[in-house]
Structure formats: C-alpha cells, structure tokens
Amino acid sequence: MSATASGDHGRVVLLRHGETEWATTGRHTGTTDVPLTAVGEEQAVAAGTLLGELDLRDPLVLSSPRERARRTAQLAGLDIDRPWDALAEWDYGDYEGMTTPEIRQNVPHWTVWTHPCPNGETMDEIGTRADLVLSVALSALPERDVVLVGHGHFSRALLTRWTELPVSEGKRFAMSPAAYSVLGFEHSYRQIAVHNIHPSVRTGRRTS
C-alpha cells in the first residue's frame, strides 16, 4: 500500500493494552478474554496522559473487542468508535495459554515469528489482516487521526506492514504494556515516527 499525499499529515497511533496476569507469566493470550491487573489499569490511565500530549486530531478510535483492550481505551480517556475483530490478537491455536518454554519442549527454538501455531492463524493470514486494518486507517487520515487499540504481537505485525516489511520482522520491534507508537509520513513515505512510548509504571515481562 502506498501513501497518498492527502494522508501525509495524518497519524496512526498504536496503543497496546495494559498488563494482564497471563502476560506477566508469559502465557500466550490470543482469543482468551482476560482482564487487566491493577497495575495494568494504572498503566492505562498513565497512557492516557501520554496520549494527551499528542494533541490528536478528532481521533477515530478502533479497538480489539477483547476486554483488556476496551478497558485500556476507556481508562486512557478514549471513546471507542468501533470494536473490531480485525484488531484482535494473533490466534495462537493449540498454543493458547502456553508459555514459550512449554512450547519449546516439543518444538525447539519456537517463536511466533518463525514457526506456525497449529490450528491458529498463519503468518500470511496475520499479514492480510494487518493490511486490511491499515487500509481502513489510511482512508480516514485525510480527515482525522486514527488510534488502534490492541495487543502486543498484532501491533508488531501492524508496524511491519506499515513499513512494508514481512510480518516475520515483527521480532525486531518491542511493544510494552500500555505503550504507544505513532505511524506517520515524511515526503509521502511511511515511517515510524515514535515507537514504544510507555508509562513509568511497573510492567509485565512479556509482549504477548
């Protein structure tokens, strides 16, 4: 997807949800609906303060339908225009709820960026979904900024597709709990303007 001149002054903000208990223990959390921890709620409130510094232009706010994302948006002071399944986290299939060390007992060196998730989403399916989300965001940019509230791995997939990289390069990006990144343009070229800005509240140790 190429940037258009009409969208050069718009921004897409990716906001990851705050800490959850599963994330702090390294469990892959895709379709399971888990709540924020107390720390996660504090992070979400603090993220709202950080987002306020961006002076967003009449933002269109799209959110994953998962509770942890919607609650993060609410606590950050964002009014969700549309909960959208396309912003859900990676479907990990048989690996849902498992940690990487547990998976590696049967599949050495496994990562979501290098190996499949049996009965879950493929890398190509994630790329297609990310491209769909970004095409919708791009269509709104001439009139307003866009905030995409979602998850760790899928936000990293969005970062790769915005910069026209393969999804597997998501391994190069961090996305901390309640962190935001800003996607923008320079001379019609898409770029990552700001990345992984997160509140100074204790965070979990995983990015799933």
Nearest-5° angle of CA 145, CA 176, CA 146? 10
The closest of 44, 40, 82, 47 to 61, measured between CA atoms, is 82
The first and second tokens of residue 34, run together, are: 């888990």
Q: How far is CA 58 from CA 10, 85, 101, 165, 171, in A?
A: 11, 23, 43, 29, 32
Phi-psi category of 130—alpha, beta or left, where left has phi over 0 and alpha has psi -120 to 50?
alpha
Is 28 labeled as catalytic in the residue annotation?
no
The residue annotated as part of the active site, out of 42, 89, 96, 121, is 89
Is 17 labeled as catalytic in the residue annotation?
yes
The first and second tokens of residue 147, run together, are: 């905030």
Can you tell me the distance from the alpha carbon of 196 to that of 186, in angstroms, rounded to the nearest whole number?
19
The residue annotated as part of the active site, out of 17, 28, 151, 153, is 17
With the C-alpha atoms ordered 197, 202, 207, 208, is the resulting torsion angle positive or negative? negative
CB-CB neighbours of 195 under 10 Å: 15
Q: Annotated active-site positions, please?
A: 17, 89
